[in-house]
């Protein structure tokens, strides 16, 4: 049925152990047991967003996801999490097959600790030189994510990253492309360039199985591409990774939060690592307000520029079928 698509996805499918090489990007509060299991059950690869979870919470979430699906799924861990190695131990306990390390360069020993229990490691890399270094250091696959994506983003567009990374890496390595993908035609284009598969987040955020608040989903349905804006860095000393979200009062609150954290840094109340954690905790709280409580004015509505293609609530299986059909049609055109 999807002969050409599956042929081009062969390496990605084998790597993930899935029917389709489509990952769901880890979205804090959204990528939990229900959505993750639905993605995996639909033939894709769900990924639990650990975010700021404690090891105990992650333990519960993995167990609950396993109760909903027998298919493979992964766990996304933030590299700057103060309990990173405890979280890795939880993944080991549950024999998680794939761990995605996001949010920065993996700290010393983290990749080894994951590979020790037999899991595969996926990493993000903003530059080709760093990508090569991470792959040499033991990472099993790479996700290249462009600035069109939602949540934490890099500065370069997906189409540019794909042209730079895929010719250099795709022949020998598993590379997934992410950022701004909302239709199957786009998936086809990246597969033809050599990608092993793709990652989408925004397209799945408002699926029927997503626990996101109805008000959160309604904000997505109303939005178009230009409403998803990247946050601005206020203080050059604060290495704040820009975040793409729908513009609202919460966007302005983040600017104020940066000023406050910079002042705490000036006064010696926090060091740089604590300052970064303050920022991360801000996002975790702001996201929860939007996703769980439905406060779309003050919460954070993290969304990619493909948000304009999200117009209604649909079951994950239907979204997956649509993406795969569009991709196959584009490849046979």
In degrees to the nearest 10, what's the CA dihedral of 99, 176, 244, 41? Answer: -60
Q: Say whether pLDDT at 80 is over 80.
A: yes
18 and 120 Cβ atoms separated by less than 8 Å: no
Topology (CATH) of 3-211+310-328: TIM Barrel (3.20.20)
Record the pTM: 0.95
Question: Average model confidence (pLDDT) for the chain?
Answer: 95
Enumerate the domain spans of the chain: 3-211+310-328, 214-305
pLDDT at 135: 97
- Is the distance from CB of 234 to CB of 262 less than 8 angstroms? yes
DSSP label of 77: E
Binned at pLDDT 50, 70 and 90, residue 83 comes out as very high
Whether residue 239 has pLDDT greater than 80: no
Confidence check: pLDDT of 179 > 80 = yes
Pairing assessment for the beta strands 141-145 and 151-152 based on DSSP bridges: unpaired
Could you give the CA distance from residue 78 to residue 228 in angstroms, rounded to a whole number?
23
Extended beta strands in the chain, E state: 22-24, 46-49, 73-78, 98-102, 120-124, 141-145, 151-152, 174-178, 197-200, 228-230, 243-246
Question: pLDDT tier at 102 (50, 70, 90 boundaries)?
Answer: very high
């Amino acid at each position: 049925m999807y002969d050409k698509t599956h042929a081009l996805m062969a390496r990605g499918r084998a790597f993930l152990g899935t029917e389709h090489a489509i990952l769901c990007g880890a979205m804090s509060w959204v990528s939990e047991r229900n959505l993750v299991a639905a993605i995996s059950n639909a033939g894709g690869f769900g990924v639990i967003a650990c975010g700021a979870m404690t090891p105990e919470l992650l333990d519960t979430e993995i167990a609950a996801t396993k109760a909903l699906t027998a298919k493979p799924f992964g766990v996304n861990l933030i590299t700057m999490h103060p309990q990173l190695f405890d979280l890795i131990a939880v993944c080991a306990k549950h024999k998680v097959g794939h761990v995605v390390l996001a949010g920065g360069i993996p700290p010393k020993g983290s990749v080894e600790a994951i590979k020790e229990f037999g899991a595969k490691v996926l990493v993000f890399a903003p530059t080709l030189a760093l990508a090569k270094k991470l792959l040499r250091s033991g990472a099993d696959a790479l996700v290249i994510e462009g600035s069109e994506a939602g949540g934490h983003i890099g500065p370069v567009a997906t189409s540019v990253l794909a042209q730079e990374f895929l010719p250099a890496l795709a022949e020998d390595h598993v590379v997934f492309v992410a950022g701004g993908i909302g239709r199957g035609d786009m998936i086809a284009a990246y597969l033809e360039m050599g990608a092993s598969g793709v990652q989408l987040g925004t397209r799945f955020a408002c699926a029927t199985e997503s626990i996101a608040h109805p008000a959160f989903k309604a904000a997505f349905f109303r939005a178009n591409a230009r409403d998803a804006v990247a946050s601005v860095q206020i203080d050059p000393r604060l290495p704040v990774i820009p975040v793409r979200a729908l513009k609202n009062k919460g966007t302005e609150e983040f600017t104020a939060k940066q000023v406050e954290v910079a002042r705490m840094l000036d006064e010696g109340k926090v060091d740089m690592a604590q300052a970064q954690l303050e920022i991360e905790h801000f996002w975790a709280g702001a996201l929860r307000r939007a996703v769980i409580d439905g406060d779309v004015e003050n919460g954070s509505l993290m969304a990619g520029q493909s948000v304009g293609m999200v117009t209604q609530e649909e079951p994950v299986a239907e979204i997956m079928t649509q993406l795969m059909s569009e991709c196959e049609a584009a490849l046979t055109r």
